[in-house]
Amino acid sequence: MSETTAQPNPPSDGKLALRVLVVEDSEFDARMLVGLLRAGGFEPEFERVETEGGMRTALGQAQWEVILADYNLPDFSAPRALEVLQESQLDIPFIIVSGGIGEDTAVAAMKSGAHDYLMKGNLARLVPAVERELREAAVRSSRRQTVKDLRASELRHRSLIENTSDIIAVLDCKGMIQFVSPACERVLGTTAEALIDSDWFALAHGEDRDRLRAEFGQALGHEGKQFAIKGRFAAADGSERVMDITASNLLADEAIAGVVINARDITERLKEQAAMHESEEQFRVASEIQQHLFPWKAPQLDGFDIAGASRPAAATGGDYFDYLTTSDSQLALAIGDVSGHGIGPAMLMAETRAYLRILTRNRNDLSLILTRANTMVGEDVGEERFVTMLLAKLDPEKRTLVHASAGHSPAFILGSDGAVKSELRRTGMPLGVMRDAEYTVSKPLRLAKGDVLVLLTDGLEETTNPEGELFGVDRILQAVHQNRQSKAAKIVESVFGTLKDFSGNAEQVDDLTMIVAKAE
């Protein structure tokens, strides 16, 4: 059984068209999900299926942008639906929406390939989850196309290399050309016929000519041995070509009676190397600048020991942390994550840092700070970029904490026994996603002696070992608890060390950032 609601024309009210495949046996629940998407800014075109056959037919007949699947159906299930999707080799975000599955079941589904799971009793995350997965799907599609283009480019270049000869020439002992291949016309702009019986070194750049001739003459004393020389040559059009020349002295060989040279034009390669060195230098300078944007040292706050660190995946990263003083002279810990890696996210991170520093000087309400920051960031980024941000403000006199979170990963307060006392959850959408988004501030949380506040970015929990297993939040908090007697800076380094051991020293694929605040 299936049901389709069509939207033949593009929406005129600015809503985003969305093709949704709903794996659900309840028509009411399916329409409820579609209604939430419509209220969240989408104009869904959907089809409801409740059997494996119906899903296979739907996948073959239309292009879907997201799949919402109930976990248990009378004749079907979300795990089997996920298998059907994987068998089709289609990259479609698959989100489980269930009325009551356990956490272990949900985790197993995520490990099997589901992109997210939501509870039917709490669908506030539906629209953000769909928006996030659509963005991620677009990124994956772009990456696949990039890889495809690169492979095609590599094949083209390989074909050119395999079918393009270097200049092959035979010189006598004085450097006069006895034979030269047709490649000389392509490289130097002069035909082979025109070069016969001419001086090879007369083609060299004036500043290199005498040196090349001398090196050639000295090498002729070593019969049967190869030698190499390199220098600049002048093409017919006046340009300079750098030639890497390998020569074999075969003057004593009656069949050759000359010096065989293989001259390769390396001009473009040298330019690429120079550009690469320049790019590496730019990245090095950018990395140094970014590291200077992070706090040099943690603030001194009565009753607290605080430390933070960030390790970018590339030379520059999109993670952020800072210690901000609000207008009421209280300390706000800030941690954020810009989508993506590299120069672009690093620049957006620097802008966000500047905005927050300005805003906190004149404000003390975290919700107003994030609301204003969201407006400012939204003016600077396109749809492909966003910033998650968590601000946690400490009151040392009352020993309390309040927080506001723009779509950032939860922070945690651990008690002295290692148990999680509180989670600092999201109180609004990521910065830059919705211009008129509003943010709320949590109620004050009292911090007891021995409590540890842990703020982090998702790169830590999403690091995998060689078997593909996620490091996860539990391991992070366990590492924090095991080092709870250490200083905050030592706790941060211990977590990073544990993470490195877990990954098997694999290449870091995401930025890693963490702040620890111990209540003393």
Q: What is the pLDDT of residues 120-132, one digit of tens each?
A: 888 888 999 899 9
The listed CATH number (3.40.50.150, 1.10.3720.10, 3.40.50.2300, 3.40.50.720) that belongs to domain 2-141: 3.40.50.2300
Give pLDDT tens digits for 394-408: 999 999 999 999 999
Mean pLDDT of 172-177: 91
Predicted local confidence at residue 318, as pLDDT? 74
Identify the CA nearest to 187 among candidates 164, 206, 209, 162.
164
Every domain range in the chain assigned CATH 3.40.50.2300: 2-141
Predicted local confidence at residue 152, as pLDDT? 83
Mean pLDDT of 40-51: 93
Percentage above 90 pLDDT, the chain: 52
Does pLDDT of 159 surpass 90?
Answer: no
The tokens describing 148, both together, are 């495809």
Predicted local confidence at residue 347, as pLDDT? 79
Q: CATH code for 291-519? A: 3.60.40.10
Which residues touch 396 (CB under 8 Å, ≥6 apart)? Answer: 301, 302, 303, 304, 330, 331
Give pLDDT tens digits for 60-70: 999 999 999 99
User: Confidence class of residue 104 from pLDDT cuts 50, 70 and 90?
Assistant: confident
Give pLDDT tens digits for 236-272: 898 999 999 888 888 888 878 888 889 988 888 888 8
Mean pLDDT of 146-166: 67
Give pLDDT tens digits for 456-480: 999 899 999 999 899 999 999 999 9
Give pLDDT tens digits for 182-220: 888 888 999 888 999 999 999 999 899 999 988 888 888
Distances from the Cα of 13 to the Cα of 10, 16, 32, 38, 128, angstroms: 9, 9, 21, 12, 20
Q: CATH code for 167-265? A: 3.30.450.20
Every domain range in the chain assigned CATH 3.60.40.10: 291-519
Cα 513 from Cα 520, distance rounded (Å): 23
Residues found in the chain: 520
State the virtual CA torsion across 137, 140, 141, 144 in degrees, nearest 10.
Answer: -160
Would the pTM of this model clear 0.75, i.e. be above it?
no
Range in 5-19, 144-158, 350-364, 408-422 with the lowest mean pLDDT:
5-19
User: Confidence class of residue 9 from pLDDT cuts 50, 70 and 90?
Assistant: very low
Every domain range in the chain assigned CATH 3.30.450.20: 167-265
Cα 456 from Cα 409, distance rounded (Å): 7
Mean pLDDT of 100-109: 80
Strand partners, 170: 179, 260
Cα 414 from Cα 394, distance rounded (Å): 16
Predicted local confidence at residue 157, as pLDDT? 47
Predicted local confidence at residue 56, as pLDDT? 94
Structure-model confidence comparison of residues 367 and 164, the more confident one:
367
Which residues touch 452 (CB under 8 Å, ≥6 apart)? Answer: 413, 414, 480, 481, 484, 491, 516, 517, 518, 519
Mean pLDDT of 5-32: 76
